[in-house]
Amino acid sequence: MGILKFMFNGKLEKLDDYRWLIPKSYMEGMRVNGIIYADEKLLPSILKDNAPIQVANSAHLQGIVCQAMAMPDIHWGYGLPIGGVVATDIEKNGVITPGGVGYDINCGVRLIATNLMYKDIAKKIKNLIDVLFSFVPSGVGSNGKIKVDSKESARVFIEGAKWAVNKGYGWDSDLIFAEENGAMKGADPSKVSSRAYERGQDQIGTLGSGNHFLEIQTVEEIFNEDTARIFGLQKDGVVIMIHTGSRGLGHQVCTDYVEKMVKIGDKYGIKIPDRQLVGVPVKSQEGVDYIGAMSSSANYAWANRQVITHLVRRAFEQVFETRAENLGMRLIYDVAHNIAKFEKYNISGEEKLLCVHRKGATRSLAPGHKELPQLYQKTGQPVIIPGDMGRCSYVLRGEEKAVETFYSTCHGAGRVMSRNEALNVTRGRAIDKELAEQGIIARCAERATLREEAPMAYKNVTDIVNIVEKAGLSSKVAKMKPIAVIKG
């Protein structure tokens, strides 16, 4: 299916300094309003990208409740924009749409603490990133050392990160600090195609390509001392951030189910302006099948990040000649940002079970939420927001006001250039040398990837984070700067 880019020709109505309205009168068939979280500084780049039309398109989804939403890192995606959040009422024939989840199912990010300070690794950083680069495969089609046959793959699909821990690739405590404890219920390996099985059999423990990365960072600034201490963050401390997902498996699952849903056409009488948002009722057989395959892919992604965590610990052990436990390498948190989940919310005074699609959006649970680990009950959820490889990343915490977005917030900086644009702009430049001049060591499987992922291809993540904080969705805890990065 080719990408047809629509033009947004409406005017966003300012609700306040950080929220902009697309009224449902903008387009015939919109069931709810659209809301974009942004400020006036960011608005021109959002309008230039035309992604607001995708917010309006998603407002047509059958069973949608409240409003169609987009975070400030919004940019053009497949079906739903990157940064999009929509929820549908299951009991009102609400739909689930693969375009509302994305091709990289459970693309997500995790953050690992250490008890190391920058001074402890300053002289070893080059050796450390080289060892990590040799331990963690990266790049297009990268394969890992872990091979799984169909029977074992099915176990990965059901058990997720627990499968990896049981195989010796991690600690029991890692499962406590992963969203869904690293495994969604409802996975059904029988709904995953043989081609998807094949693509996933040798990619566990690999970064993949594109914007996926493994980054060593130091904590540059602390905004909330008490919360930072509970999270395990300290000024000048060293942390490791991992960003990857379900690799070729998830891409194939999305491809398979988009094709299936397009083929059944008008079976359920669902009308949408963009066929990339094709969907089916959650309770339909096709919906149940997709959920089983999507959940399998999500669990594979958690297993993948868990194995990479194990490889990171082994690399640190080799360089520092001591056990990872002695280095304090505990998992702070792991969050998904391309996923659909079933969650209960109060809608007009009545508790409803909703299908919440987050595509390029991160969960942001408030203090006291029942799904939080005991350690974070008073702080709220660690919200991990990576930036580009030349500036900074953030850890925030969830806030109660985020209930208006189904406890969702931004997921990163958001692109301002396509990959082709970035390649054109950086032609003839050596991005690795430019980063080295900033004190950042970069490794990648293909040099073109560094050009595609050059810092200028992204919005400034600080602008994004300031908006979600001032909108009340999340609040800043710490800011980290990169010192070494492996790009996919």
pLDDT tens by residue, 392-445: 999 999 999 999 999 999 999 999 999 999 999 999 999 999 999 999 999 998
pLDDT at 488: 82
**Catalytic option among 75, 251, 310, 411:** 411
Is 212 marked as a binding-site residue?
A: yes
For the segment 309-352, what is each residue's pLDDT rounded down to a tens digit? 999 999 999 999 999 999 999 999 999 999 999 999 999 999 99
**CA distances (Å), 185 to each of 70, 296, 297, 338, in order?**
27, 9, 12, 16
Domain 13-487: give its CATH superfamily: tRNA-splicing ligase RtcB (3.90.1860.10)
Estimate to the nearest angstrom the gap between the alpha carbon of 43 and the chain centroid. 22
Residue type, 345: Y
Please identify which residue in the block is written with the tokens 């058990």. 159
DSSP 303-359: HHHHHHHHHHHHHHHHHHTS-TTTTT--EEEEEESEEEEEEEEEETTEEEEEEEEEE
pLDDT bracket for residue 231 (50, 70, 90): very high
The residues, ordered by sequence, that sit 6+ positions from 431 with a Cβ below 8 Å of its Cβ are 442, 450, 451, 454
Is 251 marked as a binding-site residue?
A: no
pLDDT at 222: 98
Mean pLDDT of the chain: 96
- The 3-state DSSP class for residue 459 equals coil
Q: What share of the chain has pLDDT > 70, as a percent?
A: 99
Is 113 marked as a binding-site residue?
A: no
Q: CA 46, CA 369: separation in Å to the nearest integer?
A: 32
Is 104 marked as a binding-site residue?
A: yes
Helix (H) / strand (E) containing 27: none
Is 213 marked as a binding-site residue?
A: yes
For the segment 435-473, what is each residue's pLDDT rounded down to a tens digit? 999 999 999 988 899 999 999 999 999 999 999 999 999
**Is 411 an active-site residue?**
yes
pLDDT at 3: 46
Q: Is the pLDDT of residue 279 over 50?
A: yes
Is 411 marked as a binding-site residue?
A: yes
Beta carbons of 160 and 179 less than 8 angstroms apart: no
pLDDT at 5: 57
